[in-house]
Structure 1
Amino acid sequence: MRQEATMKIVVYAICKNESKFVQRWMESMSEADQVVVLDTGSTDETPQLLRSQGALVTVEAIAPWRFDVARNRSLELVPEDTDICVCTDLDEVFHTGWRNALETVWTPGTGQARYRYTWSFCPDGSEGVVFWCEKIHRRHGYRWTHPVHEVLEWIGTGAPGPMVTAAEVQLDHHPDPSKSRGQYLPLLELSVQEAPEDDRNVHYLGREYLFHQRWDDCIAMLTRHLSMPSATWADERAASMRYIARAYQQKGQPDTARNWLLQAIAQAPYLREPWLEMAQLLYEQRNWDGVLYFTGGALAITHRPDSYICEAEPWGPLPHDLRCQAYYHTGRTALALDEARKALALSPADPRLAGNVELLSRL
């Protein structure tokens, strides 16, 4: 751990059966003064490996399981004299220099820090979903809330300290794809049961029903989300509309899906996602002029948002790939080749995109 620090920075985490990540994670967190971990019942050698790398580990089962309870218990393990608490998971990795970047912006009285978080990566290694996280905070006055998709809540006296942006702090997420997320659905249902007026929970539950292919439940829950007076964030409202459209597509109702996508575009015309989903629907219907119109609308948007709503596909080769197909099927080979080259430039290792360029060049 780092010595002679101006501020005491402690990383804290929860874990279970994550021995494969221990060495990488501990190396990444080594800029902190201390690392404390709550192991919630590993059956592998995770606790021993963490201790051998210098972490302070407490083994304790959380029953019934809730992420907020586990996070709060792990926070209790952080020493009282800590200045800055950094909450991460073992499948996450900081870029080198994160501590200095954090100390540069952290001022007396700061409550939390925002930092850049890469939640997923594309098959070619490029960044997928990227947004800003807020899991760095001062030691006292905060607690975690919600059984899943937990967030920090201020419970201290007076107003919380200001939020600072640590733009040079980068955390990458490299999860284990074999790990089940089956516990999320019942925990989200519990979240909505506990806080039925929390629009964020309702949106997440509707999305989870989509993941579980419960189309009617998805539609009902997300329609509920859209009816809530507190659901005012246009980006998230547009996402609910898109998910409803996906459910209707799966139910064999493309016209209803199209209507929901048009509403999503009207709700947040500055987002690429609804434009591109409409283009994909029209691609399936071989409506080539429609594909060109809606991909054009997506590509006209040049600012990539920094919220979790922003998906990877609209900012990758897909818009150009769809335009390539539309131009090809309408006999405009030169324009198709131009779009094929643009798509390949965004994903140069994709053999299918390279094949498109080769074929169109010959034509």
Structure 2
Amino acid sequence: MNKYKICVYAICKNEEQFVDRWMNVVTEADIVIVTDTGSTDSTVKKLLNRGAIVYKEKIQPWRFDVARNIAMNHIPEDVDICVSNDLDEVFEAGWRQKLEKAWNPNCTRARYLFTWSYHEDGSPNKQFPMEKIHSRKGFNWIHPVHEILAYNGTAKENTIWIPEIILNHYPDLSKPRSQYLSLLELSAKENPDDDRGVFWLGREYMYYKKYYASISTLKKYLNMPTATWAEERCAAMRFIARDYENIGSLHEARMWLYKAIAECHYVREPYLDMAQLGYLESDWPLVKLMTNEALKINTRTESYLLEISSWDYTLYDLAAISNYRLGLYEKSYKYAAKACEMSPENERLKNNLYLISLKVK
């Protein structure tokens, strides 16, 4: 017998291809409520046919926080646990039983594992905690984009961790993200003291190749008194380095990467970025040093800032190339073999391994 009344709620637009896969799992809940924000395909019809309750809402100007708050307001008052879940996200079956087993009446929120990316064989690669399961009262969504669930209840917040619950993300890569930049600019304007929003805006400028805007915004972030998370500060420094590299200032790029390493020496990403910069400059001792230091790090932080290239074949590939250039052929072969092992279908890596083998006595 179920102990709690659980509602899954979502927003959507033109996601007909995801409906059946999504509904197959979320129907473990007592109620599934979807707020459609303007679908022109068969999304609404398919959701209704599968038993979801659908509300149609027009949100202008568009903001993700407004859309999600409207969706939340459609949840009945007698619901105990609310589960915010997009249609391109799929819980592993049995999530409800795991949630009810861990939840108690004093809980306000639950954290669980979110799978962002996958290995070639389909197994999870990049995972980090997500926390969009919450009690019915005391929450609202804030920020126009990269919205977060903020607690405003009267009792002390009580968050539980349920690693057995896994939510897998299968994004629709065809959807444009053109609205993100303007919404991030709006978010930074509305919340000038929110360091995370300023960081995301600086990163988005980098994605849009607005390198000077990215540099100034990320430097602003680094000077904010609340910007204290070392891994995120390291990422900001790495992004500044990429900006400088893209405008041709390689000396500035190198300086910022040294700062990034000093800021957070226990993640691989700044070492990899420095190795790649050394590769561009044919600085093989630097590449060798940086790949060696990076490969000493064997523990992933599993934060959202983790970059998969730091944990795939890339470091071994660069180590093989740098050792080869320095005449250290046996070491080069060892690294090249490992790179091939990690990416066995990569023809360039296989060809490199063969060429290196010719130098090994």
Match of 2:300 in 1: 304
Aligned partner of 2:348 in structure 1 is: 352
Counterpart in 1 of 2:50?
53
Residue 256 (structure 1) aligns with: 252
Work out which of the residue numbers 328, 332, 335 in structure 1 matches 2:331: 335
Unaligned 5+ residue runs, structure 2?
none
What SS does the aligned partner of 1:230 have?
Answer: coil
Counterpart of 2:151? 154
How far apart are the structure 2 equivalents of 1:31 and 1:347?
38
Aligned residues: 359
Equivalent in 234, 239, 245 of residue 241 of structure 2? 245
Match of 1:113 among 97, 110, 113: 110
Distance in 1 (CA, whole Å) between partners of 2:28 and 2:357 is 52
Deviates more, 1:343-352 or 1:37-46: 343-352
Q: What does 1:139-150 align with in structure 2 at a 5 Å threshold?
A: 139-150=136-147
Return the match for 2:31 from 19, 31, 34. Answer: 34
Mapped pair 1:92 → 2:112: no
Does 2:271 align with 1:275?
A: yes
Aligned CA distance change for structure 1 residues 362 and 96 (closer, same or farther; 3 Å): farther
TM-score between both structures, scaled by the size of structure 2 = 0.96
Contact 1:124–1:347 (Cα < 8 Å) also in 2: no
| Alignment root-mean-square deviation, CA | 1.5
**CA distance in structure 1 between the aligned counterparts of 2:33 and 2:93, rounded to whole angstroms:** 20
Q: Could you list the per-position Cα deviations for residues 18-66 of structure 1 after superposition, in whole angstroms to 9, with x for gaps in the alignment? A: 1111111111212222211000000111000111111111111111100
1:152 aligned counterpart, secondary structure: strand
Tell me the SS of whatever aligns to 1:31: coil
Contact residue 124 and residue 349 of structure 1 kept, 8 A? no
Instruction: Note the alpha carbon deviations across 1:329-359, whole angstroms, 9 max, x for none.
Output: 2222221121112122323333333333344
Tell me the TM-score normalised to structure 1 length.
Answer: 0.95
Shift, 1:252, TM fit: 0.2
**SS of residue paired to 1:93:** strand
Q: Which amino acid aligns with 2:79?
A: T
State yes or no: 1:190 paired with 2:186: yes
Aligned with residue 168 of structure 2, among 162, 166, 172: 172
Runs of 4+ in 1 over 4 A off after TM superposition: none
* Cα distance in 1 for residues equivalent to 2:103 and 2:358: 58
Deviations 1:215-250 (A, max 9, x none): 000000000000111111111111110110000000
Per the alignment, residue 199 of structure 2 pairs with 203
State the one-letter code of the partner of 1:193.
K
Matched, 1:222 2:218: yes
The CA deviation at 1:190 is 0.5
In 2, Cα distance between equivalents of 1:250 and 1:343: 27
C-alpha distance in structure 2 between counterparts of 1:7 and 1:261, whole Å: 50
Aligned partners of 1:146, 1:8: CA distance in 2, in Å? 28
Q: Please give the alpha-carbon distance, in whole angstroms, between the structure 1 residues aligned to 2:347 and 2:70.
A: 49
**Mapped partners of 1:96, 1:158: distance in 2:** 32
Residue 137 of structure 2 aligns to which amino acid in structure 1?
A: H
Tell me, in whole angstroms, the C-alpha distance in 1 between the residues paired with 2:347 and 2:125.
Answer: 19
The answer (yes or no) to whether the contact 2:113–2:165 under 8 Å persists in 1 is yes
**What per-residue deviation string (whole Å, max 9, x for no partner) do you get for residues 154-211 of structure 1?**
1111322x11111111111111111100110010000011011111110000000001
Unmatched 5+ stretches in structure 1: none
Q: CA deviation at 1:10?
A: 1.2
- Indicate how the Cα distance of structure 1 residues 124 and 243 shifts in structure 2: closer, same or farther if over 3 A, else same: farther
